[in-house]
Chains A and B, each alone.
Chain A
Amino acid sequence: MLYREAGQFRSSYAEDQQIFPIRQDRIGVALLLAVAFLVVPVVANQYWFAAILTPFLIFSLAALGLNILTGYAGQLSLGTAAFMAVGAFMAYNFELRFPNMPILASFALAGLCAAAVGIVFGLPSLRIKGFYLAVATLACQFFVLWMLQRFGWFTNYSSTGVITAGKIVILGYVFESAASKYLLTLAIVTALAIAAKNLMRSETGRAFMAVRDMDVAASVIGIPMMKTKLLAFAISSFYCGVAGALYAFCYLGTVEPEAFSLDLSFRILFMIIIGGVGSILGSFLGAAFITLLPIFLNLFFGWVSHLIGEEVQHAVLSNVEVIIFGGLIVFFLIVEPHGLARLWQIAKEKLRLWPFPH
């Protein structure tokens, strides 16, 4: 009833190619953005920004990056955290050594550095495929981390290896409050998400998917293998790099190389598996899920310990969280390999017929 497409005719290819061809979707997304940009900063409190919203956005961006590489281009990568690390530490260094550089430029340059690293470690993809490539990306993950820990230049020779991200100042305005950092992150993530969607619905996206589905055939019809695969690595790493920079500057404030461990790479991989590989929306859904799950578990166990009168240990909590993550991965792979994004699509299909059952 609410979601009927009746009466909406797309009479030109331009209308058909829109990101949101259905009017209800457009209204929904516009509302969502309005709420995100205008309502939330006023209504939400510090905790929400710092613990939920900002990390959700940052992880969405990283998940988006990984989805571009693994979901759309079919190149499995376990080195996501390494690319984020490059972004974080290079942004820090650009800010430190070029005090007059605008921060957005530092973020962009950090992203480009991550893209360069991505291209280097993506070169093996020209000869190696599928699962073996994952091992190559593991090499990247460990090597980058080692570089950051060993070569003091990256951490400005800090004795503990920890860096403190500087202040964010754009055109004289200091982004100090959690709310302002949230808005900055939101703006950057929104812009990059739109760019990603545009890319994926253009020739770049098609080339990626062709390489994913059958790369031999793709090369036979003229799609250049090397350029396509390396571009996938570059764009993906750029997104992860910017996410890493935001991670350092807008979320944590202080970072060390260990924060970008293999565990984080797996976490982001889980986001795209649960959210939906090969889907922009899926990246956001997966990130939301994985960001919110620990919080729900905390609340749930808080309620349980209230009930049984005993304190539930933190160790128990974190182990249960890990078990649930792993279990959910297996569950989703069995039940809905296309993740939450597909479930959302199915829900929308049902909504089109609502209130009729079929």
Chain B
Amino acid sequence: MSAAQLQQHVRAQRIGEVILAVEGVSLAFGGVQALRDVSFDVREHEVRAIIGPNGAGKSSMLNVLNGVYHPQKGTIRLRGREFHDMDPHEAAAMGIARTFQNIALFKGMTVLDNVVTGRNLKMRCSFLEQALWLGRAKREELEHRRAAEEVIDFLEIQHIRKTPVGRLPYGLQKRVELGRALAAEPTLLLLDEPMAGMNLEEKQDMCRFILDVNDHYGTTIVLIEHDMGVVMDISDRVIVLDYGSKIADGVPEAVRSDQAVIDAYLGVSH
């Protein structure tokens, strides 16, 4: 076996049971049908890519997964528990974290503060305890600081930890956003075009980090990506959407040679 095949084999060993099952999800905005009867599953520890031409409904799918949009039809099951009307706050509490296409960082805060906010659901002290900065509050603050610093080390952004995020270049901001999502210690990580707008070097770094997250923390990852090379290299399975419907679902090699997928990308008329 080649090195790449060996690595694939090793990862395939780790992939577990289905933890996310999406069934018959349909979503419409006014007259626009964003998603039509989409069904797929995601297995624990795998890297699942969602690809498709522009306007295929990829971001909408992700927004449905973390409760920003509520589908008119269909169910979503996370670890067997069904939910259809959850709000993003509940999704976060259930261990779903995400990054955004247009970077949703808190521009007025430092990198460190942004990453620590990712841990907000784990903070237990009341504001009164925080005001007094005694015992429990101080300990909790330092404990979460430590966890955030580990994520910062992992993503190699120590040198900018005290910089206000608004001053950082785009590529680094994307990394910080990934850090904030990781700080929450999520079970499921949703990445919306994590490599958009990056040059080759930045993309390679980001790929490395995503794979490291998957290897090191075992986080299940669902990502939207346009770069075919990236998708082929890092994903275990791929879903292809076109005009809101799923047109292919399988391992990267199979999807790449699927005629329907080729047609969709080349714009063959339907």
Given contacts A213-B107, A222-B89, 16 further A-B pairs with CB under 8 A are A198-B131, A198-B137, A199-B130, A202-B130, A203-B125, A203-B130, A204-B130, A209-B113, A213-B109, A214-B106, A216-B104, A221-B117, A221-B120, A221-B184, A222-B184, A224-B89
Of residues 138 through 197 on chain B, the ones whose CB sits less than 8 Å from some CB of chain A are 138, 141-142, 145-146, 149, 180-181, 184
Q: A: which residues have CB within 8 A of B?
A: 13-14, 17, 195-196, 198-199, 201-204, 206-207, 209-210, 212-214, 216-224, 231, 235, 278
Cα(A210)–Cα(B105), bound, Å: 9
Known: A203-B125, A220-B98. A195 touches B117 (CB 8 A): no
A221 touches B118 (CB 8 A): yes
Do B100 and A217 have beta carbons less than 8 Å apart? yes
Residue in chain A with minimal CB distance to B143? A13
Rounded to whole angstroms, the CA-CA distance of A231 and B130 in the bound complex is 13
Q: Across the interface, name the chain B residue whose C-beta is closest to A74.
A: B108
Contact A222 B130 (CB under 8 A): no
Chain B residues whose C-beta falls within 8 Å of the C-beta of A219 in the assembled complex: 87-89
Contact among A13, A206, A278 for B146, CB-based, below 8 A? A13
Say yes or no: A13 contacts B142, CB within 8 Å.
yes
Q: Is B83 an interface residue (CB 8 A)?
A: no
Out of A14, A198, A201, A220, name the residue touching B92 (CB < 8 Å): A220
What is the predominant secondary structure among interface residues of chain B facing chain A?
helix
Decide if the interface of chain A is mainly helix, strand, loop or mixed. Answer: helix
User: Which residues of chain A come closer than 8 Å to B131, judged between CB atoms?
Assistant: 195-196, 198-199
* Nearest A residue (CB) for B129: A202
Which B residues are CB-close (under 8 A) to A221?
Answer: 92, 97, 117-118, 120, 180-181, 184
- Indicate if B234 sits at the interface (CB-CB under 8 A): no
8 inter-chain pairs at a CB distance below 8 angstroms, sorted by A residue, are A198-B133, A199-B127, A206-B116, A210-B106, A213-B106, A213-B109, A220-B89, A220-B92
Cβ of A199: which chain B residues have Cβ within 8 Å of it? 127, 130-131
User: Do the beta carbons of B120 and A198 come within 8 Å of each other?
Assistant: no
Chain B residue nearest in CB terms to A203: B123
Q: Are A231 and B127 within 8 A (Cβ)?
A: yes
Is B106 within 8 A of A207, CB to CB?
Answer: no
Q: Are A13's CB and B149's CB within 8 A? A: yes
Closest residue of B by beta carbon distance from A225: B89
Docked Cα-Cα span, A244 to B123, in Å, equals 33
- B185 CB to nearest A CB, Å: 12
